[in-house]
Structure 1
């Protein structure tokens, strides 16, 4: 009837595998093209079946889409089944012929044969498109009430695909979907629960009305698989409805205490953790039960159970750390587990148990994974710190992979910096740990190159070293000493580095340069910082090299300045030789190909050192000349030499003004808000001159009222006509803005008696005094008070230094001098017997 069956095709492919397979497949394709055009439906169906198998192997089958639809439309079930199988395997959302399948699938869904309905539902769930879902949703929803349970189950499962393509189908099928939760057939209920769980991942809140049905299934069902789904569903619903927690607590507690199924037990514990049941009423007892059950998982030989138990304990740790600490022995054993995933989760638990009392031992435990030789002692000390009995072991075999070492180093840095170093008691120890970590890390960060950002290990260690040294004054001497040694051994340190550990030299240079007084003998360190080496170029970033040059010169400036205080003539040659060595090292950095920042610093400092060298050469030559003259004659007595002022080189203080302007200290996050407005800065001055604005008056006001200061607002000139409502809105907003500015001013006096409060200044000397020019107040002029007929003001005259153009200036209050008190005398107002004050007089 046909040349090859599917079995023959499979045997032929196996016999031609590796040799002439493409040629054999080409022959098969030619045969299939002929067979699918056959009028015999059996031949066509067999050809479609063979084409489906080839498509599973990766060969194209799109050209036979129409022939697949023909087989789907066959009245015979076994052929129809082949057609739907081929469609579900070969069709996609862009298949053009799917539009022709709508009526055919609709006809199959309305068939009186349950098998035809079932195969149509199964095929539709795979090939559904938005158009197919919209047109066939009513037919699928109608199948939810089918008399056959298998059809109802398949209809529920197909409905999930329909809703995914056509979300409005959920609202249309809501009532019937809820009825299926109470179906007499458990397979239908199970399918419905499964569909709702999948849909609830996108929007759990929409399924809160079905909580009574879910709770009924939870308390009556004995199917562990269905109970797992229901508990997962409640875990997603409880965050949206906290009242469910109280209702769910008894049945879930019963399941935890009685079920032998590990999967169901874990889902119950996971639900109570994520649902917040451990922090509510009765949560302590439930947490104790969960921790005991999880401890049995840790002792199990199944690695999967160990892993999920550690995950759950990490989530319980924040709320019940004392319960987790009861099983620390097993957790410590998991830290040494050969499985990397289990080891990392156990390290999460150990890190979460860190406190001021045991942080040091926990960090040493983490360091032991980077240094295998110290693993045994670190594990014993950690257990002793946490109160666990020590057990003898041969030590762990830590993994040497870069990702594992990176994880360990990151954890150490995170533990130390937690809550701004709140758990660190001994900062000298922590500085030693950071330096040691820089030496043994040997980690290449995710970016894989030097100087890529804060995600690198070396950059993180650098930042913490600078931060700790700057914050903790008492650790600066120790930090400078340790980092000084690191700079002196920079070549050896960089030679062993495998990642970006060279960035730690940036911190070393910064600390030694910022706290120069802690360096015991600067000359040796200066040359170590400014010299140019190939290792420094290869394994450090340009910012680190620039920091080394900058702080090396800074340390030289401090040393030269300190020598000037106890200067002796022999020091001239010493500092001259050092200046020449530094200048020569700076010349090495001034080569072509150096980064812009490094080159700029090197060239600038080299120019300054040329001036220093010239001055020191002249001073040394002068000193030798004076020494020769003194030896050749006895005209200078010992007394005159002692009384003579010591001449020092002027260049000793050439560099110090560049670096030592003020001490650097830590700045709080909110410190900027406490900085007052600088004196002389007028925040109320006009940005746009008033002459460029027009004055708008309230309705009923005239120019005379405006002259008296009754201006409603100032608004920009209109570009066109404005209606009355818009004008009122502008006036209202401008008036509110003016009132806000007035109330915010410290010199604003409110006329509302109910809002007045007596304000007493804590420090009256800090109250600012405003110097006002009376010419700016617009006071009326009078003529009857002038001796020579000129107009004068009614009030006291302004100071002679004030002028009409002088703006108000805020100044600090100063106490009058003795001379001013002799000239200006003030008489204090004295209360009369009737309680009234007498008038104050000013006598000049």
Structure 2
């Protein structure tokens, strides 16, 4: 057998890969044969293992030599042990089964008398330690840390770091050892101790979700000593034992800086302690050598991550600016990469290095060009937009194709946000379209078209420039499309002539030149399908703008040619446009110029980077703030208390929109009525459903009768009357009389947390004194009442008082806490005593809607009126239409007839009378269960037929009944089935158009099997229909009662300008696909009757594959999934396969059986093959669907799934540490 040196020579001497392979295979066979002989010669075993290590470096298989490594490890000879430990560290890892045999050998070596053997064992354990090995050997490592031998201590410290990473529970055994390691005079021990301590701090930041700062706080006592050590190293003279190119121990300096950064992040006090030493290190360290640059770079990172003052940050940015001029590409790259994170902190300091950054755009290194480009976009502002865009356009002209998509989007966004004037904006976008039209994304092109459409004074200029550029170059797709659109709209302006530039003369464009240009483009190889659609539409629009009959005839012939196009969309347009020639009386109106769209100002992000350390600091500093648990008056509801969760999350900018708990935007309205809206706004602040508006005024409770509402908890609220929802104003007026105006502003700051601001304004001629507010809430909520800003309110003055009410998620916030105003002015009380009907408002309480139950009550409190009193008016039960019927005394309310002479008591036993409502109730509607289809073993589809001639007045937005309106896509049904008093809530999966079909109108539900849900259980008891059976022969099924509600709908509540949307992302988890199926089906039919869906739709569907969809194991590895067993899979594939919506479907499947094909994961549907991923959906997948960060401001996200998934996604989408989307652009519904 050859030696190791000879083996290496033979491998290197091989002239071809085949020769090298032959040498390796021959030697591997010889090594195996030698292992089988079990020679007792230790030199032969070492030689064989050394060859295995060389084979390992070549990437060859070495598993057959693992046992030989263990034999060398167990040998008493040092030479054997040294090679055995090296081979074990390289050839084995923590996942190998033979690793259990190593534990005993390592335990023996850790107790060895030779320090070098102990060091070898510590190195091996630090490389391959598993969880089991860590638990078995941590005591020996702990003993090594406590030894006085510095050689062993430093290795033991690094080994302890590996053990604590594998088993975090063992940190407590090593945390106290850090102080001795950091105090050691040996630099090696100190270096390893710093590494261990930094690892503890970083792990504490990542793993500690409860804000426990024990480890970091414990280490902060080391800061003064570390500062002294760092200062000594930075200012010390030549030390030969630690010197590296003239710098004293740069390794320890870097480790100290990193450890100080971990301690000072988010702590202003520690940051103040280390500011001076950071400035000293940054000023005195030599930057001519890479060793000094490494220290400076670490110092800059520390300066930027801690709470440093602005001067120190500027110093750090200047150091990065010096790095940009360094000839080393690595240093320049890290400088650019770091500056991207600094822009958000010190933008002015980074702006000083703008020229240097722009020079990096011409660097031959592509990675530096990419980073410089990203940084350049973050520097753009109003003052430098002309200079930077000019440089970026120059770079765009020579940039690689991979840069162009991002560059065109970012330039478009920057021009839209910082354009000094519209003319410059148009010129910039024209330049972009000319240079990189094939890489311009549709939203950017649409933005340019919208700019032209909304700027009449530049329309002639823009269309002329587009025409000239198209004459020069027809290869740029976006230029062709924008030019076709503008020429079609403003062709008459082009024909009239105008100045291309101010100094140029008028140039005339002939009519035939326009048709010649479009003909040239259509006949070229550059005419894509979309471009052809644009041109065909532009041609038909020109028929009303041209006067030459010959050219009109040419347009007609061109349209006739495309009537036989293979593209369905082009063919359809050509046929329809040709037929339009037969309707001259309406053609001019149909082809009129499009009205300019509304441009909604939106904030856009230009490359803003989030800093991980800052996010960690924010998490470290954040604490759970619990509302003060105090009951200022006493319990009103007489109900047991519930646990109030900690309030968290960002504030919602829509003050009243999110109070109802279901949406982040307020429902739109069609009729006035602020008082009704405000009564609804107080309702159900902590619940998940929207509140119900009410038609009666809202009283504010006064007097001493604080529990007069206690028995009202049993009174339920029906759906509201048939009227439009008003737009909720900012304040709720509660009292306006006798010179005092009182209003409440209600704001939901976070889920389960409501803030009420009371405003007291003196509208009278005299001053008011001792003004105050007291309130009480039920035990299910907690109240924190602040002091009033001023108890004395002068004429025209105003005072405010704030209260915070918190409640558990899902707890109904009854507006039954009483507000009592105390006024101690004689003349004010005298006037109030004689007032009639002074203070009247309505409060509404809702509960279940069982048939025959009283489900609405309006409580009217008469304050200061003669005799005082409380009147209780009640609506009739939902099944009755009788008028003015007396309702008998209800034992749940304990009410008697009112007597004005009798004062109110705390038991609600006076001043009450029951009357019926003066309107008919139109809420429940009868439908017939006509068909039941089984999707899989867990889900069935139920089709509910609507009787011909009936018009179901379904709920829109906040449960308002609007006669003649269809339901909105995404809403749910309250479903009452025979024999079950409680309604079942199921989401509609059919679009609204199916509910108004002439002879087969229906609603569709997808219901999951749920024995605990009585309504779902009843539906599942109905027999499944045979798909081949004649529907007319199907046995008649029973009728059920339904009612529609919900605000998780399309159009999205609160977004009035749908033109601001460009991308819609649907995220469905399991049966959470139900409402999204209704919405996307509606979009596929065309939004609001208009042709086609104008939005880019990204549908993300994550579901567990049902067992019936997976083939059996014996079916072979080529078996396919049954797509029909996956809910709505075929329907979604048809929508995206036929391109009814523009976008992409992304499928994530879990629970796949072993019989699924292991090749490319594709789900075969009838319409298309849908690729899928064998895992759960992640935030990175959502970020990819949302597109570039700069375009996410135009996106809308719908999330529907189980609560855990929905909460996690919504938090990640809206938080600053996540994707930072605006909360009103993220709509969610939780599927329980």
Aligned pairs for 1:774-813 within 5 A: 777-778=883-884
- Kept after mapping to 2: 8 A contact 1:530/1:585: no
Q: 1:74 to 1:414 in 2, by over 3 A?
A: same
Q: Which residue is equivalent to 2:554?
A: 581
TM-score (normalizing by structure 1): 0.64
Q: Does 1:676 align with 2:669?
A: yes
Measured against aligned partners, the alpha-carbon deviations of 1:579-637 in whole angstroms (never above 9, x if no partner) come to 4322211111122422x22111111112232x26xxxxxxxxxxxxxxxxxxxxxxxxx
Counterparts in 2 of 1:518-667, with a 5 A limit? 518-520=493-495, 523-524=511-512, 527=515, 531=519, 533=521, 538-557=525-544, 559=545, 574-575=548-549, 577-594=550-567, 596-609=568-581, 611=582, 651=584, 653-660=585-592, 663-666=595-598
CA distance in 1, matches of 2:864, 2:556: 75
Q: C-alpha separation between the residues in 2 aligned to 1:504 and 1:777?
A: 68
Secondary structure at 2:442 match in 1: helix
Where 1:677 maps in the other structure, the secondary structure is: coil
Counting only pairs closer than 5 Å after superposition, residues 244-259 of structure 1 correspond to structure 2 as: 244-259=270-285
TM-superposed CA distance for 1:85, in Å, is 1.8
* CA–CA distance in structure 1, aligned partners of residues 347 and 813 of structure 2: 59
CA contact (8 A) 1:526 1:555 kept: no
Deviation per CA, 1:379-404, whole angstroms, max 9, x where unpaired?
xxxxxxxxxxxxxxxxxxxx553235
Aligned residue for 1:751, secondary structure, equals strand
| Residue matched to 2:300 | 269
Aligned position for 1:29 = 28
Asked if the contact 2:227–2:274 (Cα under 8 Å) also holds between the matched residues in 1, the reply is no
The alpha-carbon deviation at position 164 of structure 1 amounts to 2.9
CA distance in 2, matches of 1:361, 1:776: 76
Does the 8 A contact of 2:219 with 2:263 survive in 1?
no
Partners of 2:110 and 2:285 in 1: CA distance:
42
CA distance in 1: counterparts of 2:433 and 2:381, whole angstroms: 24
Q: Distance in 2 between the 1:249 and 1:129 partners?
A: 41
Structure 1: unaligned runs, 5 residues or longer:
372-398, 444-455, 561-570, 613-650, 688-708, 717-728, 756-774, 781-801, 812-844
The equivalent position to 1:216 in structure 2, one of 208, 211, 225, is: 225
- Kept in 2: contact 1:712–1:735 (CA 8 A): no
**2:473 aligned residue (493, 496, 511):** 493
Distance 1:459 1:256, change over 3 A: same
1:508 to 470, 477, 483: 483
CA contact (8 A) 1:218 1:227 kept: no
Please point out which of 751, 773, 777 is paired with 2:861.
751
User: SS of the counterpart of 2:485?
Assistant: helix
Does the 8 Å contact 1:529/1:548 carry over to 2?
no
Kept in 2, the 8 Å contact 1:13–1:21? The answer is yes
Contact 1:532/1:588 (<8 A) preserved: no
Per-residue deviation, 1:34: 4.2
Equivalent residue, structure 2, for 1:566: none
- Offset from partner CA, 1:481-518 (integer Å, 9 cap, x none): 3234455x2xx522xx3xxx312332233334445664
Deviating more after overlay: 217-226 vs 314-323: 314-323
TM alignment of 1:101-250, pairs within 5 A: 101-198=102-199, 200-204=201-205, 206-221=215-230, 222=233, 223-250=249-276
Identify the structure with bigger relative contact order (alpha carbons < 8 Å, sequence gap 6+).
2
User: What's the offset of the Cα at 1:136?
Assistant: 1.5
Q: What does residue 464 of structure 1 align with? A: 447
Alpha-carbon distance in structure 2 between the residues aligned to 1:663 and 1:678: 27
The answer for the alignment partner of 1:383 in structure 2 is none
Once the 2 structures are TM-superposed, how far is the Cα of residue 163 of structure 1 from its aligned partner?
2.5
Query: Which residue does the alignment assign to 2:715?
Result: 712
Distance 1:661 1:584, change over 3 A: closer
Contact 2:450 2:596 in 1 (8 A): no
Q: Offset of 1:144 from its aligned partner?
A: 0.6
For the pair shown, which has the larger CA radius of gyration, 1 or 2? 1
Shift of 1:131: 1.8
2:52 paired residue number = 51
- Cα deviation for residue 553 of structure 1 reads 1.7
* Inter-partner Cα distance in structure 1 for 2:713 and 2:87: 87
Task: Quote the Cα distance in structure 1 between the aligned partners of 2:269 and 2:285.
Answer: 25
Provide the rounded CA distance (Å) in 1 between the counterparts of 2:187 and 2:45.
40
Deviation at 1:202, TM superposition (A): 4.4
SS, match of residue 184 in structure 1 = coil
Contact persistence 1:438–1:504 (CA under 8 A) = yes
Distance across 2 between alignment mates of 1:428 and 1:482: 12
Q: Is the 8 A contact 2:181 2:190 kept in 1?
A: yes
Structure 1 partner of 2:432: 437
Deviations 1:163-218 (A, max 9, x none): 23322222332222343222232211101212343554444465442122255223
Contact 1:530 1:586 in 2 (8 A): no
Note the 1:714-729 alignment, pairs <5 A.
none
Structure 1's 600 and 20: CA in aligned 2 closer, same or farther, altered over 3 A? closer
Deviates more, 1:164-173 or 1:140-149: 164-173
Contact 1:510 1:547 in 2 (8 A): yes
User: What residue is the counterpart of 2:7 in the other structure?
Assistant: 9
Q: CA deviation at 1:325?
A: 5.0
**Aligned mates of 2:919, 2:413 — CA distance in 1:** 63
SS at match of 1:403: coil
Contact in 1 for aligned 2:313/2:346 (Cα 8 Å): yes
- Give secondary structure in 1 for the equivalent of 2:273: helix
Q: By how many angstroms is 1:219 displaced? A: 2.4
Report deviation, 1:247. Answer: 1.9
- Measure how far apart 1:74 and its partner are: 0.7
- Shift in Å, 1:73: 0.6
Report the secondary structure of 1:38's partner residue: coil
TM alignment of 1:75-90, pairs within 5 A: 75-90=76-91
Q: Aligned-pair distance for 1:26?
A: 4.1
TM-score by length of 2: 0.45
The equivalent of 1:478 in structure 2 is 461
Question: Equivalents in 2 of 1:313, 1:408: separation in Å?
Answer: 19
Cα offset, 1:292, TM superposition: 4.7
Report what 2:389 is aligned to: 363
Query: Equivalents in 2 of 1:22, 1:549: separation in Å?
Result: 63
Whether contact under 8 Å (1:125, 1:161) holds in the other structure is yes
More helix by share: 1
Contact 1:461 1:504 in 2 (8 A): no
Structure 2 unaligned segments of length 5 or more: list them.
206-212, 234-248, 287-291, 497-509, 603-653, 655-664, 681-689, 691-711, 720-807, 817-840, 847-856, 866-880, 887-917, 923-952, 954-959, 964-1232
Q: Is the 8 A contact 1:297 1:305 kept in 2?
A: yes
Deviation at residue 61 of structure 1 after TM alignment: 2.4
Render the CA deviation track for 1:18-52: whole Å, top value 9, x for unaligned: 47544444443344334331133343333323333
Distance 1:587 1:409, change over 3 A: same
> Would the aligned equivalents of 1:428 and 1:478 in 2 still touch at CA under 8 Å?
no
CA positional deviation for 1:519: 4.3
- What displacement does 1:82 show? 1.8
CA contact (8 A) 1:72 1:80 kept: yes
472-481 vs 340-349, which deviates more? 340-349
User: How has the CA–CA distance of structure 1 residues 31 and 805 changed in structure 2, closer, same or farther, with 3 Å as cutoff?
Assistant: closer
Q: Which deviates more from structure 2 when the two are superposed, residues 325-334 or residues 39-48? A: 325-334
| Number of aligned residue pairs | 618
* Partner of residue 95, structure 1: 96
Instruction: Give the secondary structure class of the aligned counterpart of 1:676.
Output: coil
- Shift in CA distance, 779/479, structure 1 to aligned 2, threshold 3 Å: farther
Which of the residues 417, 420, 426 maps onto 1:425?
420
Aligned-pair Cα RMSD in Å:
4.5
